[in-house]
Amino acid sequence: MHNISYSLINTVPKHWCADGLGSGPPPPNVDECKPFYTNSSNSGTCKKYNYESYMGYQSFVSKMNWVCDEKSKLEMGNYIALAGYAIGGPIMGYLADRLGRVPILVFANVITILGNFLTIFGMNFELFCIFRFLIGFVVNSNFSIIRILIVEYMRPSLRTVCLNICYGFFIYLGMVITP
């Protein structure tokens, strides 16, 4: 779910400025951030955009109009998620050693699912950043603790098979089912 949510949230559809356009102009061949028509009432900056959606899908970027001058908001949210990775990895590892790997793994999965779900409803920049940081904080635990548990619980001859089943089959199955 988390691997696919990144693609769904960060999809930047083809877009163009809708200021001063009629009801149904054809989309341009390239993304366009400036108005097609400028006059005394139009300052040259765009206030409204049209998007070419794929099968009616409206991405988070198109919903929030985070294109052109606002595209730095999406990038900042991704940087904050990376900061969550850097801070959360050592903290969650320490907690897994102190409180147990299975409880922290369950906690990390719940927070990842909740954070990805709440990102949809974080309809402002601050909430988006909070939810992305929260996801980044715990998401490494979802992968690393599973590996550690398999190495600890399985005899050496079965570790490779079990890791391939967990990561190969179930991640593949999840990626096929989720969309």
Q: Give the model's pLDDT for residue 139.
A: 86
Give every residue of the chain whose pLDDT is below 50, as ranges: 40
Give the model's pLDDT for residue 151.
79
Q: Which amino acid is at 20?
A: G
pLDDT of the residue at 26: 60
Q: Cβ(44)–Cβ(35) under 8 Å?
A: yes
Distance CA 16, CA 35 (A): 8
Q: Which residues of 79-95 are buried (b: 16+ CB within 10 A; e: fewer)?
A: ebbeebeeebbeebbeb
Neighbouring CB atoms inside 10 A of 28's CB total: 14
14 pairs with which residues across the strands? Answer: 52
- pLDDT score, position 40: 47
Phi, psi of 66 (to 5 degrees): -90, 60
